[in-house]
Amino acid sequence: MAVVGSGPAGLAAAQQLARAGHEVVVYERDERIGGLLRFGIPDFKLEKKHIDRRLDQLTAEGVRFVTGCEVGVDISAAELREQYDAVLLATGALAGRDVDTPGRELRGVHLAMEHLVASNRAVHSGQSPTLSAQGKHVVIIGGGDTAADCLGVAHRQGAASVTQLDLYPQPPATRNGEQDPWPTWPTILRMYPAHEEGGAREFAAAAHEFVDDGTGAVRAIRIQQVDVRREDGRRVVTPVPGTERELPADLVLLAIGFAGTEPSPLLSDLGLARSARGTLDCGADWQTGAEGVFTAGDAHRGAALIVWAIAEGRAAAAAIHRYLGVPGDLPAPVDAAAQPLAVPR
């Protein structure tokens, strides 16, 4: 069988299926195996030796890897389905959310993953990154894990200053039992290790313009305080008059989340459409609308924790094992409709 994508879901599924006696080939469009683990998470958070150790295991167990191959471009969907009895799409959810803020087109305004991928490639190669924060005034837009990763990388690259903008007001330090009851995910102030290393945090603040330096590059960002509330389940953001100000910015990183799996020739060839959330739908058996084609991980769930991707990869492997008619059951940690307990902000 074929696994498309070598992130945590794809690797977890490949290992389960190989141990069950299936012949597994993993396709990866990048030059190295690991997906988001390899290219999206900084070394200070995940040393890549741990990925390499797992790859040694997988190789010893018979899994084959094909790198630098984009399925749907370098090999067609028809060829893949002809060569394999089943296909698992574990392509992640790397389509970054963008903004339409005036000045978005200026040089120096980037999606966060562009910065993180460039940094990870540089760490591996020992060369200077193609996109660096060195000596720059960096503004990071977003308040989650990816924003914190960019913050830590900017510190290590020698940024002149780093400011993180969070759209939401500063949350309390402790859980509010009535508004935020256990076991839902607590809305509390989170201090990542990168925050302890320095940098400023601005809460209830939004960018409303990226300022041109006259050459087509960003030199500053105009921000404004905002009031954020929920009405009828929708988020309503209202600017606060008289709070406009300007921050110096040579590098702006947009870390405002992900919009699902990326559109691709592979999905078109398989006749699969992305859902309203940008993800791939599947049935209870993890199978998509294309016969013999399954999905798991962020491609199915949307951007989530690594542990969810691993669990989904293993569960999809169990479903593929059954689909192929092989006796015996494999462990299935979650079902396709499982959701974490969380309260939307």
Tally of structural domains, the chain: 2
What's the pLDDT at 250?
96
Do 53 and 183 fall within a single domain? Answer: no
**Structure confidence at residue 57 (pLDDT):** 97
Considering the domain architecture, whether residues 115 and 141 belong to the same structural domain is answered as: yes
Residues with pLDDT less than 50, the chain: 341-345
Last residue of a domain, one of 203, 226, 254: 254
Q: What is the pLDDT of residue 345?
A: 46
Which of 254, 276, 311 terminates a domain? The answer is 254
Inside any domain, residue 200? yes
Structural domain containing residue 19: 2-94+259-323
Assign 3-class secondary structure to 66-106: ECCCCECCCECHHHHHHHCCCEEECCCCCCECCCCCCCCCC
pLDDT computed for residue 79 by the predictor:
95
- Examine the domain organization and report whether 76 and 156 are in the same domain: no
pTM for this entry: 0.90
Residues 172-182 pLDDT 10s: 888 877 777 87
**Residue 343 maps to a domain:** no
Identify the three-state secondary structure at position 10: helix
What pLDDT shows up at residue 340? 61
CA distance 163 to 202: 7
What is the per-residue pLDDT for 236?
92
Same domain, 245 and 270: no
Two tokens, residue 105: 């087109």
Could you report the per-residue pLDDT of 95-111, keeping only the tens digit for each? 999 999 999 999 999 99
* Residue 6, in any domain of the structure: yes
Whether residues 75 and 165 share a domain: the answer is no
Q: Are residues 286 and 301 in the same domain?
A: yes
- Which CATH number does the domain housing residue 174 bear? 3.50.50.60
